[in-house]
Amino acid sequence: MNSKTQNKVAIGSLYGIAGLVVLILLALLGYILVSGVPQLSWHFLTAPGKAFLKGGGVGIQLFNSFYLLILAMLISFPIALGAAIYLYEYAKDNWLTTTIRTAIEILSSLPSVVVGLFGFLFFVVKLHLGFSILSGAFALTFFNLPLLTRSIEDSLRTVSDVQREGGLALGLSRWETVTRVILPAAVPSILTGVILSAGRVFGEAAALIYTAGQSAPALNFTDWNPFNISSPLNPMRPAETLAVHIWKINSEGIMPDAKAISSGSSAVLVIAILLFNFAARYLGKRLYKRLTSA
Amino acid sequence: MKEDILTTQDLHLYYGDKEALKGINLDFDEKGITALIGPSGCGKSTYLRTLNRMNDLIPNVTITGTIKFKGNDLYAPSADTVQIRKEIGMVFQQPNPFPFSIYDNVIYGLRIAGEKDKERLDAVVEKSLRQAAVWDEVKDHLHESALALSGGQQQRVCIARVLAVSPEIILLDEPTSALDPVSSSQIEATLLNLRHDYTIIIVTHNLQQASRIADRTAFFMNGELIEVDQTKNIFMNPANKQTEDYISGRFG
């Protein structure tokens, strides 16, 4: 075989493999959307679920998913940001940082069900937080922290060292250089990373089953006092999320329209995550443009 | 006799075990341009970066000897690197404007130092950009991103950014080697304007550039300072054989 044919064969098989990946992806997405989208309606998106009758919705689960996501992000983002800044901008290569990095690697490859069980034993049982949004948010923080830290570290890496030198040579302290030059320059990339990790958190089920619980008590959407038990904002109430809901009705759902609700919920989940991804790209690009060519 | 603003005595610098500067003695008096020339790897950039302690950022660097700025030891334990770099500014090989507007780039140092007075900031922006000879080209889009400018304009904005914090010494590390000839000659013109008000030390690969703009030229080789003299003497009548070989293009 001469090198020209070799080249053609190689390109051909690479196209084939790439096409196969795209095909599988499209088939999956298509199946979920085709079977799920017809179930969607305003009622489905807002009504509370019904355990035994048909016609239930996923309103509470949807709200829980978002609330949990926001809480988890509020807890994990500052920690991840601090850790990433330390690791990339300050830390020297020594045994301590090697240990931290290894810990982050291990934590990020931990199966989420293990994170969930740890959350159950530690937050739910040991700290007496019960099955609650707070327990769930902490578990999600453990799940999210390593991914987010690495993504922010990568964002900092995209800012060229000449920027750091520029800042320091101008008589800025290292902290001023980081906060006033490097971070603003890294914002588009950090934002993209945050939204993408939000997508993963949003779809997470295993870490939440034993921490935020599998029940969705009725909520009173007129009561926004976080100390009342039926308030949507109460962080101590159990809160089944959309992803957990899908798992639950598929394993033990006894409502007559379980299949339809499961398909509809899956579609909502997938659409939400798609929206996250598109938003990440759009916002990242827009911000980058604003920063670079005003 | 004019007073020396910056003095270097027996300066050695090691990257790990490798000795990159082998005892440099070099003084600079106030104002004017000094060019540092020499073949690649001769230590001229390394030397430049010891003068505002940028080598601090590189791990495993050991420095011995004394550098004094207006009589104060730059490497004394009490020396404040932040303050040093305000007084000894630096322009790099690669233009490195921050990804902000031209205006924000120029006043960044001042703004972080706490200056809020809008009129004063405006005045500093105009003065610095004029000094850097780029005002006329950018005055109508001060609030657009500096990254949209050409390389030569970016480099002059970087010079303006350094001027805005009113340094006494400006270090330039091959500031034109990434630029086209037209932009390079604009930068040279800018530097010639500045030589009456600032002490300028420039590392350059370009011998013609050194001969065009420098009052004084120092020739480095293999981590040693071979010769330093008035530029005219270095180019027309060098005292040292190595200098002559280098200048006449016999190596390097």
Whether the CB-CB separation of B82 and B123 falls below 8 Å is answered with no
A94 in reach of chain B (CB within 8 A): no
- Mean pLDDT for the stretch of residues B52-78: 88
Residue whose C-alpha is closest to residue B90's, from B137, B56, B138: B56
For residue B174, the chain A residues in CB contact (below 8 A) are none
Least confident residue range of A141-145, B16-20, B56-60 = B56-60
What residue type is assigned to position A6 of the chain? Q
For chains A and B, count residue pairs whose Cβ atoms are closer than 8 Å.
80
Contact at CB, A163 and B112, closer than 8 angstroms: no
* CB–CB contact A168 B57 (8 Å): yes
Q: Identify the residue whose tokens are 């900092």.
A: A156
Q: Which residues of B touch A169 (CB under 8 A)?
A: 52, 54, 85, 89-90, 92, 162
Q: Which residues of A touch B144 (CB under 8 A)?
A: 293-294
pLDDT digits (tens, 9 = 90+) for A100-116: 889 998 988 889 899 99
Q: How far is CA B139 from CA B126, B133, B186, in A?
A: 8, 11, 17
Asked whether the CA dihedral B104, B106, B107, B108 is positive or negative, the reply is: positive
Q: Do A294 and B89 touch (CB under 8 A)?
A: no
CA A93 to chain centre: 30
In angstroms, what separates the C-alpha of B46 from chain A's closest C-alpha? 14
pLDDT over 90 at A292, yes or no: no
The verdict on a CB contact (< 8 Å) between A92 and B89 is: no
In a domain, B252, yes or no: no
- Relative to beta strand B216-221, strand B224-230 is antiparallel
List the CATH number of the domain containing B136: 3.40.50.300
Provide the shortest C-alpha distance from residue A128 to chain B (in Å).
47
Assess B239–A contact: CB distance below 8 Å, yes or no: no
Give the pLDDT of residue A252.
Answer: 85
What's the complex ipTM? 0.84
Span B15-51, pLDDT tens digits: 988 988 998 899 998 899 999 999 888 889 999 999 9
Residues of B in contact with A180 (CB under 8 A): 108, 112
Q: Show the domain range for B241.
A: 4-247
pLDDT surpasses 60 at A294: no
Q: What are phi and psi of A96, to 5 degrees?
A: -65, -50
Summarize the confidence of residues A63-70 as an average pLDDT. 92
Residue type at B99 in one-letter notation: P
- The model's confidence at residue A141, banded by pLDDT at 50, 70 and 90, is very high
Select the residue from B60, B69, B74, B100 to test the A interface by mutation, using most A Cβ atoms within 10 A.
Answer: B100
Pairwise CB contact (< 8 Å): B54 & A169: yes
**Is B132 a residue whose pLDDT tops 60?**
yes
pLDDT tens sequence across B139-148: 998 988 888 8
- Strand order of the sheet with strand B4-15? B18-29, B4-15, B61-69, B72-73
What is the share, in percent, of chain A residues with pLDDT greater than 70? 99
Runs of H (alpha helix) within chain B: 44-50, 81-87, 102-112, 118-131, 135-138, 151-164, 181-194, 207-213, 231-236, 241-247
Query: Are B54 and A291 an interchain contact pair (Cβ–Cβ within 8 Å)?
Result: no
Give the pLDDT mean for B77-81. 88
Q: What percent of chain B has pLDDT over 90?
A: 45
Spell out which residues of chain A touch residue B74, defining contact as CB-CB under 8 Å.
none
Q: Is the pLDDT of residue A1 over 80?
A: no
Rounded Cα gap, residues B42 and B142, in angstroms: 40
At A293, the pLDDT band (50, 70, 90 cuts) reads low
Q: Are B190 and B206 in contact (CB under 8 A)?
A: no
pLDDT at residue B217, rounded to an integer: 93
Instruction: Kindly report, residue by residue over A201-228, the tens digit of the pLDDT.
Output: 998 988 999 998 888 888 888 888 888 8
Q: Which residue bears the tokens 């020594």?
A: A94
The nearest alpha carbon in chain A to B113 belongs to: A172
- Give the pLDDT band (50/70/90) at residue B1: very low
Q: State how far residue B233 is from chain A, nearest Cα, in angstroms.
A: 33
| A292/B contact by beta carbon, under 8 A | yes
Given a cut of 90, whether residue A25 has pLDDT beyond it is yes
How close A291 comes to chain B (CA, Å)?
Answer: 6
Say if residue A144's pLDDT is above 70: yes
- Asked if A245 contacts A44 with a C-beta cutoff of 8 angstroms, the reply is no
By Cβ distance, the residue of A92, A163, A176 closest to B98 is A163
Q: Is residue B210 assigned to a domain? A: yes
Share the mean pLDDT of chain B. Answer: 89
Q: Total structural domains in chain B?
A: 1
Query: What is the C-alpha to C-alpha distance for residues A219 and A232, in angstroms, rounded to an integer?
Result: 6
